[in-house]
Structure 1
Amino acid sequence: MKLTRLIAVAILMISAPVTAFENFITRDGHKLMDGEREFRFAGIHAPELHRIEDDAKGVCKADPRGWGQHFKWPTADEQENWIKALVRTNHKAMRIYVLSVEHSADKACGRETHILKPLSAGEMPRLNEEAMRIYDRMIALADQHKLRLILPFIDHWKWWGGREQLAAFYNESEDDFYDIYSQTYKAYQHIIRQVITRRNTFTGRLYSEEKAIMAWETGNELKDTDELFLAKTSAFIKALAPNQLVLDGTYTRINEFALQDPNVDMVSNHYYTNVGNNNPQTVLADLKTIDGRKPYLIGEFGLQPSDKLKAIMDAAVNSEYKGAKAVGAFIWGFRGHRHNGGFYWHNEGGSKYYSYHIPGFKEGAFNEEIDVVNIARKAAADMMGEKFMPLPVPEAPILRQITNVADIRWMGAPVGRSYRIERSVSATSDWQTIAGGISDGMNKFDPQKHTLFCDGDAKPDTTYYYRVFAQNETGESAASNVQKVTTGQYAVECN
Structure 2
Amino acid sequence: MQYRNSFKKIGLLAALLIAHHTHAFDDFIKRDGSLLKDGGKTLRFAGLQAPELHRIEDDAKGVCKADPRGWGQYFKWPTADEQENWFQSLAFTGHKVMRTYVLSVEQESDPLCQRETHISKPLAGEQFPRLNEDAMVHYDRMIALADKYKIRLILPFIDHWPWWGGREQLAAFYGEQAEDFYNTESKTYAAYQNIIKQVINRKNTITGRLYRDEKAIMAWETGNELKDTTASFLQKTAAHIKSLDPNHLVVDGNYIQIHDFAIKDPNVDIISNHYYENVGNLTPATVTADLRKIAGNKVYIIGEFGLLDIAQLSAIANAAIEQDYHGHKTAGFFIWGLRGHRHDGGFYWHLEPANNKTYSYHIPGFQEGEHNEELAVVDLVRKSIAALNGDKNVAPLPKPLPPILRPITSQANIRWMGSAVGRNYRLERATNLEGPWKILAEKISDGINRFDPATMTLFTDKQQLSKGVYYYRVIAINESGESAPSNIEKLEVR
In which range does the TM-score fall when normalised by the shorter chain? Answer: over 0.9
1:4 aligns with none
2:277 aligns with 273
> Does residue 62 in structure 1 map to residue 66 in structure 2?
yes
Whole-Å separation in 1 of the counterparts to 2:21 and 2:200: 19
Whole-Å separation in 2 of the counterparts to 1:381 and 1:117: 45
1:485 aligns with 491
Q: How many angstroms does 1:66 deviate by?
A: 2.4
1:418 aligns with 424
Whole-Å separation in 2 of the counterparts to 1:228 and 1:367: 42
The answer to whether the 8 A contact 1:197-1:208 is kept is: yes
The TM-score with structure 2 as length reference comes to 0.95
Q: How many angstroms does 1:144 deviate by?
A: 0.5
1:242 aligns with 246
The equivalences for 1:38-77 within 5 A come to 38-77=42-81
Whole-Å separation in 2 of the counterparts to 1:317 and 1:202: 36
Letter in 2 for 1:254: I
1:10 aligns with none
1:359 aligns with 364
> Residues 457 and 286 (structure 1 numbering): CA distance in 2 closer, same or farther, change over 3 Å?
same
2:263 aligns with 259
> Does residue 384 in structure 1 map to residue 389 in structure 2?
yes
Q: How many angstroms does 1:104 deviate by?
A: 0.4
Q: How many angstroms does 1:120 deviate by?
A: 1.9
Structure 2 counterpart of 1:188, from 189, 192, 195: 192
Whole-Å separation in 1 of the counterparts to 2:458 and 2:319: 39
1:168 aligns with 172
2:103 aligns with 99
* 1:63-112 superposed Cα distances (whole Å, 9 cap, x missing partner): 11222100000000000000110111111000000000000000111110
> Does residue 453 in structure 1 map to residue 459 in structure 2?
yes
Identical pairs, percent? 62
* 1:11-40 superposed Cα distances (whole Å, 9 cap, x missing partner): xxxx74311001100000000000000001
* 1:442-490 superposed Cα distances (whole Å, 9 cap, x missing partner): 10000011100011124132311111000011110111000111124xx
The answer to whether the 8 A contact 2:423-2:477 is kept is: yes
Whole-Å separation in 1 of the counterparts to 2:139 and 2:362: 22
The equivalences for 1:318-329 within 5 A come to 318-329=322-333
2:29 aligns with 25
The answer to whether the 8 A contact 1:60-1:69 is kept is: yes
The answer to whether the 8 A contact 2:21-2:209 is kept is: no
Whole-Å separation in 2 of the counterparts to 1:33 and 1:344: 34
Whole-Å separation in 2 of the counterparts to 1:121 and 1:249: 32
> Where do 5+ consecutive residues of structure 2 fail to align?
1-18
> Does residue 148 in structure 1 map to residue 147 in structure 2?
no
Paired residues, what number?
474
Q: Secondary structure at the match of 1:460?
A: coil
Whole-Å separation in 2 of the counterparts to 1:17 and 1:85: 24
Q: Secondary structure at the match of 1:216?
A: strand
> Does residue 84 in structure 1 map to residue 82 in structure 2?
no
2:9 aligns with none
Which 4+ stretches in 1 moved above 3 angstroms? none
The answer to whether the 8 A contact 1:122-1:170 is kept is: no
The equivalences for 1:176-215 within 5 A come to 176-215=180-219
* 1:366-425 superposed Cα distances (whole Å, 9 cap, x missing partner): 100000011111111211212311211111000000010111000000000000111110
1:473 aligns with 479
Whole-Å separation in 1 of the counterparts to 2:225 and 2:483: 41
Whole-Å separation in 1 of the counterparts to 2:269 and 2:294: 12
1:136 aligns with 140
Whole-Å separation in 2 of the counterparts to 1:487 and 1:164: 55
Whole-Å separation in 2 of the counterparts to 1:151 and 1:314: 25
Q: Secondary structure at the match of 1:108?
A: helix
Letter in 2 for 1:373: V
* 1:132-189 superposed Cα distances (whole Å, 9 cap, x missing partner): 0100000001101101000000000011000000000000010000000000000000
> Does residue 337 in structure 1 map to residue 341 in structure 2?
yes
Whole-Å separation in 2 of the counterparts to 1:151 and 1:26: 16
* Comparing 452-461 and 294-303, the one that deviates more: 452-461
Structure 1 counterpart of 2:293, from 280, 289, 292: 289
Q: How many angstroms does 1:121 deviate by?
A: 5.8
1:368 aligns with 373
> Where do 5+ consecutive residues of structure 1 fail to align?
1-14, 489-495
Q: Secondary structure at the match of 1:132?
A: helix
Whole-Å separation in 2 of the counterparts to 1:458 and 1:334: 39
Structure 2 counterpart of 1:442, from 445, 448, 462: 448
Letter in 2 for 1:475: G
2:130 aligns with 126
* 1:318-359 superposed Cα distances (whole Å, 9 cap, x missing partner): 111111111110000000000000000000015100000000
Q: Secondary structure at the match of 1:353?
A: coil
How much is the aligned-residue C-alpha RMSD, in angstroms?
Answer: 0.9
The answer to whether the 8 A contact 2:432-2:471 is kept is: yes
Letter in 2 for 1:403: T
Letter in 1 for 2:365: G
The answer to whether the 8 A contact 1:403-1:485 is kept is: yes
Whole-Å separation in 2 of the counterparts to 1:70 and 1:478: 36
Letter in 1 for 2:77: W
2:3 aligns with none
